[in-house]
Amino acid sequence: MAALLELDGVTQRYPRGARGRHERVALRDLSLALGAGELVGVWGTRHSGRSTLTLLAAGIVRPSEGAVRFDGVDLARRPMLGLRGGIGWCDRAFDPVMAATVVEHVAAPLLSGDVSNRAAERTAIDRLERVGAAGLAELEPDELDAAETTRVAIARAIVTRPRLLVVDEPTTGVRATQERPLLSVLHALAREEGVAVLMTADDAAALAGVDRALSLSGGLLRGAADGPAGDPSAGAPEPADGRVVPLRAREAR
Give pLDDT, residue 81: 57
Give pLDDT, residue 241: 37
pTM for the structure as a whole:
0.86
Above 90 in pLDDT, residue 197? Answer: yes
Q: Are 43 and 229 in contact (CB under 8 A)?
A: yes
CATH class of 3-88+159-234: alpha beta
Above 60 in pLDDT, residue 234? Answer: no
d(CA 231, CA 136): 33
Above 70 in pLDDT, residue 196? Answer: yes
Residues 6 or more apart from 177 whose CB is under 8 A from it? none
DSSP letter, residue 247: P
Give pLDDT, residue 18: 64
Mean per-residue pLDDT, 214-234: 64
d(CA 37, CA 193): 7
Domain residue ranges of the chain, discontinuous segments joined by +: 3-88+159-234
Antiparallel, parallel or unpaired: β 87-90 and 22-35: unpaired
Mean per-residue pLDDT, 226-246: 42
Give pLDDT, residue 3: 92
- pLDDT tens digit sequence for 166-187: 999 999 999 988 988 989 999 9
- Burial label for 138, CB within 10 Å (0-12, 13-18, 19+), is exposed
